[in-house]
Amino acid sequence: MNIDCTTSLIEIKSQHISLKVPHLSVKTHSNRPSLKPLRNVTRRKMKSKLVTKNKFYNPCNEVHTKTNGTTCGLREIMIGRCSHYQYIKNGFVQPNGSRAKNCTELYEAFESAVRYKSYCNMNMSTYGRYFELALGDLHVINRAMFWSGTYAIAHTYGSNGRNYVTLEDTLAAAMVNGLTWCGKENDTEGFDFVSCPYRCKDNQWADYAFWGLASKTFAQLAAGEVYVVLNGSQANGKSAFRNDSYFRSFELPNLRQNGTYRVTKVNILVLHSPDAEVVERCGQKSLLELERLVQNKGFDYACEDDPEELILIMCSEHWHARECQVARQVLRQTWNKKLYGISNSNRNLLSLVIFSLIFGFNFIF
């Protein structure tokens, strides 16, 4: 043990540089449309009610600002992502050595489902061929990770398929994640680049046409043990296992119960964010119902609140949260010891930890 009490704390702290608070997730939420309670609706041929000033106006040709319509460069972005996925990322999700897919063919299968079509004329089979081409030969064994209300942390932890595979790590979803698109009838481009409706009053299936089928298809590919990251700190009376979640509506019902590639166990990870209330934990409220549903389907069930692996990530992203302060101080002092071999700082830390633990963390905040 190297103790060097001659180095003063003043010297150590003299050059503090003001740094930005870490925000590690670039994309913090999904762009799946939120679900309304599912109803049975008679599908009718609908006309888009959107009116644009000039039907040949395309903002992609102008000085660029983000629009509410189809993402400019949709074709190039999708084909580029497909090539990246297959030639660079390949190996994380799809087995190395598998036959490369034709990215142009994939894009065209997607395009033919949407281009020149009215948004409200979509349904759950619209993108069928696209998903079949993109995911037809895939099985995600012991690595599938579902999420609900936990987009950012599930994806940070999953690490683009390196640790776990989320829906967004599959080729079909990776090609469009974060993009917006909607078709436009009687238009030269066939896409509406000005505004997409997001909601179709008389045909809710239009809203789920892509992400509903994506979720269903991904659930059907999951095998062995699967992982579900839920939010036990939901505000505004929302449950961790919500009635109107994609997980409940499209994923859980489609996990395979039979065959070689059946699901064996469902592992639930319930997270409670720093600085947020604990609304539900394993074995409580909606999680009791989830347990019953999982067991009724014949799967093993396990549930864990806040695995350590994920707490540290939560604190990395919520640096200033009350519950992360003592650990942050512990790390500072550990590194000071590593750097300078100081034992004085240990005594400061010790006082901090003793008081904070005895008096409930309140005195330091």
**Within 178-197, which residues bind its own copies (CB under 8 A)?**
178-179
Please select the residue that binds its own copies; options are 25, 34, 188, 295, rule is CB under 8 A: 25
The residues in 290-309 that bind its own copies, with binding defined as CB under 8 A, are: 302-309
29 near its own copies, judged by CB under 8 A = no
215-244 residues near its own copies, rule: CB under 8 A: 227
Task: In angstroms, give the least distance from the CB of 303 to its own copies.
Answer: 6
Q: Among 99, 237, 257, 258, indicate the residue that binds its own copies (CB under 8 A).
A: 99
Q: How many residues bind its own copies (CB under 8 A)?
A: 98
Q: Determine the Cα–Cα distance for residues 126 and 140; give it in Å rounded to an integer.
A: 24
| Stretch touching its own copies by CB under 8 A, among 37-45, 47-55, 90-98, 111-119 | 90-98
**Binding of its own copies at residue 316 (CB under 8 A)?**
yes
Q: Residue 3 or 41: which CB sits closer to its own copies? A: 3
Q: Which stretch binds its own copies (CB under 8 A): 45-53, 115-123, 253-261, 312-320?
A: 312-320
Structure token digits, residue 244: 């109107």
Is 284 one of the binding residues for its own copies (CB under 8 A)? Answer: no
**Binders of its own copies in range 117-146 (CB under 8 A):** none
Cα 322 to Cα 14, 314, 325: the distances in Å are 26, 12, 6
Q: Which residue has the tokens 């590919």?
A: 221
Q: 10, 16, 45, 237: which one contacts its own copies (CB under 8 A)?
A: 16
CA angle 155, 71, 136 (to 5 degrees): 55
| One of 52, 68, 90, 112 touching its own copies (CB under 8 A) | 90
Out of 68, 163, 195, 344, which residue is the one contacting its own copies (CB under 8 A)?
163
Is residue 288 part of the contact set for its own copies (CB under 8 A)?
A: no
Task: Choose between 41 and 278: whose C-beta lies nearer to its own copies.
Answer: 278
d(CA 187, CA 17): 55
Q: How far is the CB of 94 from its own copies (least distance, A)?
A: 9
In angstroms, rounded to a whole number, what is the distance separating the alpha carbons of residues 349 and 235? 34
Among 126, 156, 217, 249, binds its own copies (CB under 8 A): 156
Beta-bridge mates of residue 300: 265
The identity of residue 56, as a single letter, is F
Does 39 contact its own copies by CB under 8 A? no
Alpha carbon distance, N-terminus to C-terminus of the chain: 33
How far from 15 is each of 12, 60, 160, 307, CA to CA, in Å?
Answer: 7, 47, 37, 36
Spatial distance between the Cα atoms of 9 and 12, rounded to a whole number of angstroms: 5
Q: Which long-range contacts (CB under 8 A, 24 or more apart) does 336-345 make?
A: 336/12, 339/12, 340/4, 340/7, 340/12, 341/1, 341/2, 341/3, 341/4, 342/3, 342/4, 342/5, 342/7, 342/9, 343/3, 343/5, 344/5, 344/9, 345/9
CB of 78 to its own copies, least distance (A): 7
Q: For residues 69 and 212, which CB has a smaller minimum distance to its own copies in the complex?
A: 69
Q: Cα–Cα distance between 321 and 314 in angstroms, integer?
A: 10
- Smallest separation, CB 25 to its own copies (Å): 7
Q: CB neighbours (10 Å) of residue 129? A: 15
Rounded to the nearest whole angstrom, what is the least distance from the CB of residue 138 to its own copies in the complex?
A: 15
